[in-house]
Amino acid sequence: MKIMARTKYTVEKVLYFANQKSTLHVGPNEEKIDSDLHRTVQALVEKGDIHLCGTDDSGEYFKTTKSGEIHLLKLQIAWRKAHQKDVADHQAALTLLTA
C-alpha cells in the first residue's frame, strides 16, 4: 500500500514559481519518484498554463504562458478574497491580461 504524502506543491505555488523571472526548476528525480511537483507540472503543461523554456544538466525549467498568468491571478484573487485582502492590484493585472 502506497501512502500519499501531503501535497507540497499546489497548482498556485507551481504557477507562482513559474511566473518568476528565475522560472521554475524541476530536477530529474521528481519524475523518478513521481512527486506531486512532477504531476502538477505535467498537468499544467498539458493544460497549456506553463511551458518548457530550458534544460541543463540539473533539470528542466518552466515558465508561465499567458493562460497560466491568468490562472495564477484568478487563484490569487480567490485566496485574497477568502482572507479579506485587497484585490485591486491583482484585478487590474487580470483586466490588462484579458483585454
Q: For residue range 34-54, what is the model confidence (pLDDT) as tens digits?
A: 999 999 999 999 999 999 999
Among the listed residues 44, 20, 19, the one whose alpha carbon sits nearest the alpha carbon of residue 36: 44
pLDDT of residue 7: 75
Q: What is the pLDDT of residue 1?
A: 47
The pLDDT assigned to 78 comes to 98
Task: Using only the alpha carbons of the chain, give its radius of gyration.
Answer: 15
User: Cα angle at 64 between 51 and 70, to 5 degrees?
Assistant: 130
Q: Mean pLDDT per segment of 10 residues, for the chain of length 99 residues?
A: 67 98 96 94 98 97 98 98 98 96
Q: How far apart are CA 84 and CA 81, in angstroms?
A: 5
Q: How far is CA 72 from CA 12, 40, 54, in A?
A: 6, 14, 21
Query: Structural domain boundaries of the chain?
Result: 11-98
Instruction: Give the class (CATH, top level) of 11-98.
Output: mainly alpha
